[in-house]
Amino acid sequence: MIDILAGNPLLLLFTVSAIGYLIGRIRIGGVSLGVAAVLFVGLAFGAIDQRLRLPDIIYLLGLVIFVYTVGLSSGPGFINSLRRRGLRNNLFIGGVLVAAAGMALLIRAILGINGAQTAGLFAGSLTNTPALAAVIEQLTQLGADEALRAEPVVGYSVAYPVGVLGMILAIYLTRRLWRVDFERESQQLRELGAVGEHLINRTIRVTNPAVAGQTIAELVKKNKWNVIFSRHQHNGQIELATGLAQLAPDDLINIVGSPEAVERVTAALGEPNPEQLELDRHTLDYRRIFVSNPAVVGVPLRDLHLPSVMGAVITRIRRGDAEILPHGDTTLELGDRVRVVTQRDNMERVTHFFGDSYRSLAEVDVVSLGLGMALGMLVGLIPFPLPGGGSFSLGLAGGPLIVALFLGWRGRTGPIVWSLPYSANLTLRQVGMTLFLAGVGTRSGYSFVTTLTQGNGLLLFLGGALITVPVAFATLFIGYKLLKIPFSLLAGMLAGLQTQPAVLAFANEQTGNEAPNIGYAMVYPTATIVKIILAQLLLGAG
């Protein structure tokens, strides 16, 4: 059987993936590994026989697909987070990495290893292949022989698995120890744009004489209300609640928003009406419509002029499993479902405007996908000079991520829509993650076991653990307890610090929302650059 698997890489890939997914579904204490189990199954297969290793192209392809799709979906949230506390969070992660380098120097002194092994141990315990590549490149430029160039690889290969396991274990244990309640974090996560909002609708009877004669637009601007006005009843006539509508006593107005925002508006306008303002569906109607028309994607809603041009109002946007309250600067994505209120005889026109084709959402624009990933890989190849000679590049993980973050934030460039339909993005992300985990696992398993059982492999393994585990627990403790970062976001930041998609997959599995992806994308570029520089400094220290 081993000979068959060794001679058929695709069979090995699907076998590892299938077994990994089965194990990942097993729940112990309410927790499962999810897709991260594919990594451990790959390690087990690779340890059995050195021939059981997937080609490089498998995990490289998976890595590029995974980080690119994560970047696309995280782009808007990433930019928003930078405008809030992104700088602080990146400085925090940078400080932790500097401390990790200090620990590596301490371990070097205790174990008596040289600078090459120390640099490899640092790169492996923090699972950063670009840092390892930079160290090997620097050794080559210094004229080191083959034996010396192999020493960073030894330290890296031994420390890498514990670098993954240690981080996953830290997330699991701290979540259980601190009894993290993700529901209580929801408000913070909504402010970061990482999860959707809990929306309610209410009909209000206008009883406050102070608002009489004022338009909805004037009231929203003056009070900074974060709600959507959907329909308005005046003198028994129900119409769309446009910004030009003037309010009068005994008018009924229907609004949609968060419970807190709805209470504010109710207190200002009057009182809750006992009955909802029902539509006469012979005149006004509502419908959920799929956004499949590329022409409306990436365009701020205010620029679509829906109330004036289409005679329609969007009251909610559903993206995946999350509901979003629309604003003027909100942009639609392929696969969104918008709830629209308009005249009944206008509904077909509005439906055609948004597309409403589920079939087209299953199709991926290969032009934008291929062009975006190609740009990302080209950026990853750009060499950046370092002080004292040498250079580093972002590689196949950093380059596509940086480009995807920018393109995801931009949404579109002329006729090219960069974003992917939500369902297509999730599918590609899962495929990419599976390819990456299976490839890395099978390629690391044999060298891990061999090095661990020979020479000073066990000491190097313990040295890697002494870097990974304290870094993981310190990051989570300082971030959660002192800096008050929501755990969902912090778990993604830890994965970004580790530049490790397997840890990100586990964090997503635990939290059940998109916040880990935001945290991962927020600090990944900083973590990659800092680790590359520190690894080369550790080499020079030897």
Helix (H) or strand (E) holding 153: helix 146-178
User: In terms of Cα–Cα distance, which of 193, 190, 189, 186 is closest to 79?
Assistant: 193
The H-assigned helical ranges of 325-478 are: 347-354, 358-361, 366-381, 395-410, 422-452, 457-477
Question: If DSSP codes are grouped into helix, strand and coil, which group holds residue 32?
Answer: coil
Give, in order, the Cα–Cα distances in Å from 303 to each of 37, 239, 386: 46, 22, 45
Confidence (pLDDT) at 293: 87
Helix (H) or strand (E) holding 177: helix 146-178
Beta bridge partners of 202: 255
Q: Buried (b) or exposed (e) across 95-119, using 16+ Cβ within 10 A?
A: ebbeebbebbbebbeebebebbbbb
Task: Answer left, alpha or beta for residue 210, where phi above 0 means left and psi between -120 and 50 means alpha.
Answer: alpha
Confidence (pLDDT) at 163: 87
Which residue type, as a one-letter code, is found at position 343?
Q
Give the residue carrying structure tokens 């002194």.
109
pLDDT per residue as tens, the chain (542 positions): 888 888 888 999 999 999 998 988 887 655 566 776 787 788 889 888 888 888 888 888 888 898 888 788 777 766 766 666 778 888 999 999 999 999 999 999 888 888 888 988 998 899 876 677 667 667 766 676 666 666 776 777 788 878 888 999 999 899 889 888 766 666 656 554 545 567 888 999 999 988 888 888 888 888 889 888 888 888 878 888 888 888 989 889 988 888 888 999 999 998 998 887 776 666 778 889 988 888 888 888 888 888 888 888 898 888 876 778 888 888 888 888 899 988 888 899 999 999 888 777 667 788 899 999 999 999 988 887 766 666 667 777 678 888 988 898 888 888 888 888 877 888 888 898 889 878 877 877 777 677 667 667 788 888 989 999 999 999 999 999 999 888 988 999 999 898 887 788 888 878 777 778 778 878 877 887 788 788 878 887 65
Q: What are phi and psi of 51, to 5 degrees?
A: -80, -20
User: In terms of Cα–Cα distance, which of 434, 410, 487 is closest to 195?
Assistant: 487
